[in-house]
Amino acid sequence: MFGHLGAMVRARAIQNESVVLRSLLEVGESMSALTDRQQVLELVLREARRLAIAEAGTLYVLRENRLKFVAVQNDRLDISQVSRGLLGHELPVSGESLAGFVAMTGLAMNIEDTYSLPAGTSFRIDREFDAALRYSTRSVLAMPLICPGGPCVGVLEFINHIDSAGNVGPFPAEGIAGLESLAAMAAVTVYNHLLQDQLRQAHLDTIMRLAVAAEFRDDDTGEHVRRISRSSAMIARRMGLGESQVELLQWASPMHDIGKIGIPDSILLKPGRLTDDERLVVQRHPQIGADILSDPQNELIAVAREVALSHHERWDGQGYPDRLAGTAIPLSGRIVCLADVLDALISKRCYKAAYPLDKVMGIIRDGRGSQFDPDVVDAFTDISPDVVEPYLRPAAD
């Protein structure tokens, strides 16, 4: 009898290992077909939860000794509620939280009942999330994401194991080995995406520095391009553009005046009024910028070229260099046009003093439907206190 029982247990273990192995192969194949980072992270968490039979779960990425929520799933709650409360939130790597303790120690923790922790437990269970959403976190399995022979890059947290009767119970110890294999795969995936993020950030930093260099001749702080970047992104977001489009404009807009590198200092830095001929020289800078950014090899440079060429066009067709009108002007150019004029009016320049805010707002309102796209003006007006806030700060000594 006992021999038969042992054979059944071994058979079930082999079957479970087969299921885990097949799942790992399927997850690996699915991950290799995805290029969007968030989709990959959501897939990792979803498949890990399926193997763990977990009602909910959270995936954290470790950056600069802080854990950042990057994926949150919950079968019982409205996921939009969960996402609003957690995504982007950070935790310290410490005993202040279970995930922080796991990241700090590199140890997996299987908590059968979070409401019955033994005295002297080295970490704290935060009940704020449960209280806010009327949810009960009972069992938790938290696993570090550690690359083979490398660092901890995050934490995978499973919440509330659902047993065969449909009730919440502890996570069974015999299932942890398969989850550790998935955690190792997830660690490599997260690590590779972190490296890609670092490379991308270095690329964007280089672009920003080049844009600042182009502006340095008539803006010795380089803050002009950073302000344009911020204002353009805020207006685009208010107009309902997707986050990927907002981010593209945020990083493309600093290159709007890169063509000024081809304008002589005697004209660009002239303190007095420009002659008609000098004005024509200045008006060549959009085309010079477009030529510098010609033959773009990626979407960011393509949008930057679009912005450089079109940000001096006017809604009424009286702009330059191509006298485009209305929606024939790319939306990116229409947004940066307003952000650029705002910055020019409200900032001190070599040829003018800073205008007071009420005068700036009046000029922009008067330009609605002539110089500016009405929808862009309306979006800016809705959020103008937030957009202009940096301009109203006292100057640093």
- For the ranges 37-41, 64-68, 353-357, 380-384, the lowest mean pLDDT is seen at 37-41
pLDDT at position 236, please?
96
Q: Nearest-CA neighbor of 380 among 348, 344, 340, 349?
A: 340
pLDDT bracket for residue 89 (50, 70, 90): confident
HEC string of 333-364 equals: HHHHHHHHHHHHHHCCECCECCCCHHHHHHHH
DSSP state of 259: G
Question: What residue type is 283 in one-letter code?
Answer: Q
Measured in degrees and rounded to the nearest 5, phi and psi for residue 140 equal -140, 135
Contact 191, 150 (CB under 8 A): yes
pLDDT at position 243, please?
85
Instruction: Judge if the upstream peptide bond of residue 151 is cis by omega within 30 degrees of 0.
Output: no
The whole-chain average pLDDT of the chain stands at 81
| Most confident residue range from 12-16, 65-69, 79-83, 232-236 | 232-236
DSSP state of 372: B
pLDDT at residue 364 is higher than 90? yes
DSSP state of 108: -
> Residue 343 contacts by C-beta under 8 Å, 6 or more apart in sequence?
224, 227, 228, 231
Mean pLDDT of 167-193: 78
Q: 282-320: per-residue pLDDT in tens?
A: 999 999 989 988 887 778 889 999 999 999 999 999 999
Contact 277, 303 (CB under 8 A): no
Is residue 156 classed as helix, strand or coil in its secondary structure? strand
H or E stretch at 71: strand 66-74
Q: How far apart are CA 228 and CA 250, in angstroms?
A: 8
Q: How far apart are CA 123 and CA 350, in angstroms?
A: 58
Q: 204-262: per-residue pLDDT in tens?
A: 666 666 666 666 555 544 678 889 999 999 999 999 998 889 988 998 998 898 888 88
Q: Which residue has the higher pLDDT, 87 or 45?
A: 45
Q: Nearest-CA neighbor of 253 among 324, 338, 371?
A: 338
For residue 207, count other CB atoms closer than 10 A to its CB: 18
pLDDT at position 213, please?
61
- The CATH classification number of 2-195 equals 3.30.450.40
pLDDT bracket for residue 265 (50, 70, 90): confident
CATH 1.20.120.80 for domain 216-392, yes or no, is no
pTM above 0.85, yes or no: no
For residue 320, CA distances in Å to 3, 313, 338, 376 come to 88, 5, 15, 19
Q: Enumerate the domain spans of the chain.
A: 2-195, 216-392
pLDDT at position 220, please?
47
pLDDT at position 214, please?
63
pLDDT at residue 329 is higher than 50? yes
- For the ranges 46-60, 150-164, 213-227, 304-318, the lowest mean pLDDT is seen at 213-227
